[in-house]
Structure 1
């Protein structure tokens, strides 16, 4: 998939249908497992249990389906974080810290421990390692709103400049320590001697993430008069 696929039309006016969602669900799994080039429209249609013509009808083709997968993942994952992302602005540093804790805690439970994240995570990680134009869709729909919310909360909790490079680095570091438990899941389980990452393990990860957050906030405050 090259940059030219960005211009490929998508049948956005096609009505929603169970067949469309089945294609998205099947494509997310197959694209995540095999990548864009190695996945055929025929096997996507077979996995979805629909006629292959539905791909052209709903998405305009394989490239449009791939982009729709990225948009769907951004929408669906963000929706599961809405309850903590859309809270009212915090009133003071303590509320900002608590709001940031709520976002990171929910992200930990979702990313590290939720079995339903396995296929979406593979799709997203492929875009991280071998990006296509769809990465911009993921960025605008998911990465930017989450990181933007965390940056605003960090600034409110510490008094730091929300536009500084240091602030962005700190927030990316906090999120990155969660992502490793999905991206390197099997290696983590080997090192930790865990059979899987379930509720107990997620709680331990969450405790570590919040401890890191509190330590960074304390260090930031020590720098200020």
Structure 2
């Protein structure tokens, strides 16, 4: 029997604890108001380890966004792989291309919706919204990490579904599609109240995905 430990190295555990704690602090208080002393205390580590692992407060802030990108990309990667496969098998007829594009589009929005309605994304959304309002170098991490690639993919699929060459109108539709998904995170409290839901469980998530599919189809082809 192997005597090697299956536990992650202590440094990785410390780094992950700091990122998880900092994510909540930065989302709640913003970069300037968040205290590295409080972050270290809540993470159960020495404050000096922030400098050791991240080079300081700014490095920790950027690491939070790199973590978001890694998690989102991991969640949507299967959908993106399926899209590549579907587009490589591009049907010859227009109706077939439209059907394939819509199937790929729905697969991507399903995956994105699952990310946005998960509890994990609550702090992510707050951080990204702050950066949307007053962009810093952290916004570019998100933009290049998944936002722009997803928008490009959506634009391509919408143009393909419509049998048209990519243009500004398709990019506008892609942004609208993203909005159809994001609203279930950014307006979560209002959404739960309006629908009379206590939370979004498996059955509610299925309802949300069906609604998003119907709306996305209308946006793409309408």
Question: Are positions 1:59 and 2:54 aligned together?
Answer: yes
Alignment of 1:1-225 (within 5 A): 17-87=12-82, 88-90=85-87, 91-92=90-91, 93=97, 94-112=99-117, 114-162=118-166, 164-219=167-222
Quote the Cα distance in structure 2 between the aligned partners of 1:16 and 1:49: 13
Quote the Cα distance in structure 1 between the aligned partners of 2:220 and 2:180: 16
- Deviation of the 1:89 alpha carbon: 4.2
- Deviation of the 1:176 alpha carbon: 0.3
- Deviation of the 1:120 alpha carbon: 1.9
Q: Structure 2: any 5+ residue segments left out of the alignment? A: 1-9, 92-96
Kindly indicate whether the alpha-carbon contact (under 8 Å) linking 2:110 and 2:209 is maintained by their aligned counterparts in 1.
yes
| 2:7 equivalent in structure 1 | none
Change (3 A) 1:155 1:16: farther
Change (3 A) 1:190 1:168: same
Residues 62-112 of structure 1, C-alpha deviations (whole Å, 9 max, x = no match): 011111111111111111110001222422322221111111112112202
Identify the structure with bigger relative contact order (alpha carbons < 8 Å, sequence gap 6+). Answer: 1
- Deviation of the 1:217 alpha carbon: 4.0
Quote the Cα distance in structure 1 between the aligned partners of 2:169 and 2:112: 22
Change (3 A) 1:86 1:218: same
Q: Structure 1: any 5+ residue segments left out of the alignment? A: 1-14, 220-225
Which has the larger share of helix? 2
TM-score normalized with structure 1 length: 0.84
Quote the Cα distance in structure 1 between the aligned partners of 2:11 and 2:156: 36
State how many pairs are aligned: 203
Residues 3-50 of structure 1, C-alpha deviations (whole Å, 9 max, x = no match): xxxxxxxxxxxx962111111111111101111011011111111111
Quote the Cα distance in structure 1 between the aligned partners of 2:217 and 2:128: 29
Quote the Cα distance in structure 2 between the aligned partners of 1:44 and 1:176: 32
- Deviation of the 1:197 alpha carbon: 2.1
TM-score normalized with structure 2 length: 0.85
Moved more, 124-133 or 134-143: 124-133
Quote the Cα distance in structure 1 between the aligned partners of 2:137 and 2:181: 25
Change (3 A) 1:124 1:218: closer
